[in-house]
């Protein structure tokens, strides 16, 4: 069932690229009808917010930053900030995590935020739209997206640095194919044994090297990926029932899906849907 072409407004997608990559896209969205938000404890990831239409204001460090059309701001994790929305304020946004997320502060500087006004001609807004379009069409290359995300941040920081990605043969031969299978077949009854069998290795071997490269077990990664896809369906397709979302994301039992979702996110699926549809969070 292809739900990506139903034309729902205000799309938001979670963990578009694997967090095992150096720079990953934790969430991304556009055409967002932005409302006022209070975040006294900040947001857990580096967070870019940009105005598509209208304008709004953000308060950081006691300063009011006005965001007219086309202007954006990158906010460091856990920095207190407040959004002041005006009528008709439409935004787009992207947040970043990944294995190098703890080092991003060295890349973007020690300030609490960066605006786009001195960063040259890099098309930040167009980049977000392109990534969303690729994600919705299924036409994406995780490594290219990770490199592209680095370029996004590099243009904000204006630092002449490059990043390197692992060419370890173990990653290329075993981890990358496993990640692709999970991304494309997460709605199927995948098992560690089946994934290992496809690669002609033992489940123990695949589990060991997967943990080495990603810091997570195969099944934990799979379940987290399913939860992220469920989040997307809950928000972007509000007419879908919880039982349908459980089925579409690979959970054979709706009750288990609800319990696992709450254990992972602290919310039931319905609570999470209401939270985002009311746009208290982004």
Same domain, 204 and 251: yes
Highest mean pLDDT among 41-50, 121-130, 150-159: 41-50
On whether residue 6 sits in a domain, the answer given is no
Same domain, 148 and 197: no
pLDDT in tens, 70-94: 889 999 999 999 999 888 899 999 9
The total number of structural domains that make up the chain: 2
Q: In the β-sheet with 37-39, what is the strand arrangement from edge to edge?
A: 37-39, 81-85, 56-60, 63-67
Same domain, 48 and 143: yes
Same domain, 197 and 254: yes
pLDDT of residue 249: 96
Same domain, 44 and 122: yes
On whether residue 104 sits in a domain, the answer given is yes
Cα separations (Å) of 165 from 21, 134, 143, 161, 171?
Answer: 8, 21, 8, 14, 11
Same domain, 102 and 216: no
Same domain, 152 and 29: yes
pLDDT in tens, 99-116: 888 777 766 766 788 887
On whether residue 74 sits in a domain, the answer given is yes
79-83, 152-156, 217-221, 256-260: the lowest-pLDDT one: 152-156
- In angstroms, rounded to a whole number, what is the distance separating the alpha carbons of residues 134 and 157? 25
Retrieve residue 82's tokens: 């407040």
Q: What percentage of the chain exceeds 70 in pLDDT?
A: 88
pLDDT in tens, 160-219: 333 333 567 888 899 989 988 998 999 999 999 999 999 999 999 999 999 888 778 999
């Amino acid at each position: 069932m292809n739900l990506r072409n139903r034309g729902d407004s205000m799309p938001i997608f979670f963990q578009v690229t694997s967090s095992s990559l150096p720079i990953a896209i934790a969430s991304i969205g556009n055409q967002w009808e932005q409302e006022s938000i209070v975040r006294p404890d900040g947001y857990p990831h580096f967070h870019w917010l940009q105005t598509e239409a209208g304008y709004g204001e953000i308060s950081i460090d006691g300063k009011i930053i006005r965001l007219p059309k086309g202007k954006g701001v990158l906010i460091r994790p856990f920095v207190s900030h407040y959004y002041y929305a005006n009528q008709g304020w439409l935004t787009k946004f992207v947040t970043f995590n990944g294995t190098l997320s703890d080092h991003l502060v060295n890349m973007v500087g020690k300030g609490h935020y960066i605006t786009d006004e001195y960063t040259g001609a890099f098309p930040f807004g167009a980049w977000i739209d392109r990534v969303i379009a690729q994600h919705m069409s299924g036409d994406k290359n995780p490594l290219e997206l990770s490199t592209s995300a680095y370029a996004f941040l590099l243009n904000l920081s204006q630092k002449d640095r490059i990043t390197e990605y692992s060419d370890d043969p173990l990653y290329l031969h075993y981890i990358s194919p496993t990640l692709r299978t999970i991304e494309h077949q997460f709605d199927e009854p995948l098992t560690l044994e089946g994934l290992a069998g496809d690669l002609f290795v033992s489940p123990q071997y695949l589990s060991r090297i997967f943990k080495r490269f990603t810091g997570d077990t195969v099944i934990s990664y799979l379940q987290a990926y399913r939860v992220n896809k469920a989040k997307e369906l809950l928000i972007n397709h509000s007419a879908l029932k919880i039982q349908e979302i459980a089925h579409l994301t690979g959970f054979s039992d709706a009750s288990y899906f609800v319990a696992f979702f709450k254990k992972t996110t602290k919310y039931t699926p319905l609570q999470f849907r209401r939270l985002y549809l009311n746009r208290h969070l982004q």
